[in-house]
Amino acid sequence: MAAVSPLAPERFPDMPAVDGVRLATAAAGIRYAGRTDVLAVLLDPGTAVAGVFTRSKCPSAPVDWCRGKLKGGKARALVVNSGNANAFTGRSGVAATKLTADITAKAAGCKPAEVFLASTGVIGEPLPAERFGGVMDGLVQGAAPGCWEEAARAIMTTDTFPKGAAAIARIDGKTVTICGIAKGAGMIAPDMATMLSFVFTDAPLAPAVLQSLLTKGVEDTFNAVTIDGDTSTSDTLLAFATGAAAARGVPRIARASDPRLEPFRKAFNLVLGNLAEQVARDGEGARKLVEIVVEGAASKKAARKIAMSIANSPLVKTAIAGEDANWGRVVMAVGKAGEKADRDKLSIWFGGIRVAHKGARDPGYDEAKVSAVMQKPEIELKVDLGLGKGRDRVLTCDLTKAYVEINGDYRS
């Protein structure tokens, strides 16, 4: 196991149980013997489900399974395995998802169509789904509320720390709970979510409302994170609303436009944002968390594209790893993004210190001050194009030798 990222939170957060959600983990031997590699989540009847998935044209078999079952709007179980992504596995991958769902449904007393699946790990290796049969009955019988840290650890691959976040929100003045976990450290350039993330709430929400919250919520959270520019075949973000808070008098929300939903929406987005940032903090080999802010662009869409161009540039990321405020590489990344830019209006800041202005090095540039900023573990890189009001921000990390070592050794 790699050393814990220096950007990791000090500890796993305190996360309350969510009514209607029970969790359990086990070691099924999916890829390695003796390693916890399966998470099962049991959900009360009536639980609503929503999801967003990778836009990769080569999705995993579990992604296809979940897409096909999402239209039902209801879930009774979630099964996640690490060690094997069940991606690029052909007919055997499809059969493995069906077998996993059948095994789970039998143990949980529900329909296979109410079972949602996710897998993470090596791409291209058949998933030995029959191994779920050896642990599923025990998982169902031993499932308990609030086992969030164990759940987050069970879905880790190259992650160096488990990722969790929670929030308390109010609907019509009454309290509801939101808890989420995530995994991801490499192959991260989400086109909807991250590699895997799961969010649970006891709020009584219609499936369409939950889907609306999720689709909008990922745009400035998970979709605004990149580690290496590679979008996974397995990106899955599922949200589950058990509705158990209705027993405490919380009203059911049937429309996404209901004004009573607003405090919940803010809390929900905070959980997504927290999880997304933890993914950036755990970038493979990362030593620095980098927030890239682009202002003065022609539009928000243009600002996002430019910010991502900077964030995904190996030259920018390696310069930051070397603690070098190399604004020339930032200029390069802005120029290649394909969006409107004017070299002679461009200004660039590292850590609040302007290093370039109006197309040239800032006349007040001080090497010592900038070097001190670049030694910090968290750095803001800001660009102002001077063209309009478009603004956006994305999170990334530096690119170190350790990233190459981790990925050079990963499958072998």
Q: Is 194 annotated as a binding residue?
A: yes
To 10 degrees, the CA torsion angle through 127, 128, 130, 135?
-90
Q: Is 412 annotated as a binding residue?
A: yes
- Enter the DSSP assignment of 400: -
Strand order in the sheet with 48-53: 48-53, 236-241, 196-201, 174-183, 163-171
Strand order in the sheet with 115-122: 21-26, 38-43, 77-84, 115-122
CB neighbours of 226 closer than 8 A, spacing ≥ 6?
188, 189, 190, 308, 311, 312, 394, 395, 396
Q: Is 407 annotated as a binding residue?
A: yes
Catalytic member of 160, 194, 201, 236: 194
Return the beta strands (E) in 85-187 as ranges: 115-122, 163-171, 174-183
> What separation in angstroms does the CA of 74 have from each of 69, 345, 402?
9, 52, 42
By CB neighbour count within 10 A (0-12 exposed, 13-18 middle, 19+ buried), where does 343 fall?
exposed
d(CA 255, CA 258): 5
SS3 assignment, position 348: strand
Report whether 158 contacts 186 (CB < 8 A).
Answer: yes
Q: Is 269 annotated as a binding residue?
A: no
Helix (H) or strand (E) holding 25: strand 21-26
Count other Cβ atoms within 10 Å, centred on residue 273: 18
Q: Is 219 annotated as a binding residue?
A: no
d(CA 199, CA 166): 9
226 part of the active site: no
Q: Is 54 annotated as a binding residue?
A: no
Residues within the annotated binding site for substrate? 157, 183, 194, 284, 407, 412
Residues within the annotated binding site? 157, 183, 194, 284, 407, 412
The set of catalytic residues is 194
